Amino acid sequence: MDAESARMIGAGLAAIGAGLASLGVGNVFAKFLEGALRNPGAADGQQGRLFIGFAAAELLGLLAFVVAMILVFVA
């Protein structure tokens, strides 16, 4: 296997992380809604944690995307 094909395989594997970030974001919102429907009084106090979880999951997806772009265009 030459270096070009190994680079493209690595970029494809890094792009999987960007796809999995959408599952993480969906899981964050699903668990928030599940908890909010069980205890509506505590939903306002958990909304800050919702946005922190969303930002963390989205950050990991963007990081995977950046790694894939670095592998494709720079490395």
The per-residue pLDDT for range 4-21, each reduced to its tens digit, is 888 888 888 888 888 888
Residues 6+ apart with CB under 8 A from 40: none
pLDDT tens, residue by residue, 25-68: 999 999 999 999 999 998 888 889 989 989 988 898 899 889 88
Residue at 6: amino acid letter: A
| Cα distance between residue 68 and residue 11, in whole Å | 4
Buried b (16+ CB within 10 A) or exposed e, 38-61: eeeeeeeeeeeebeebeeebeebb
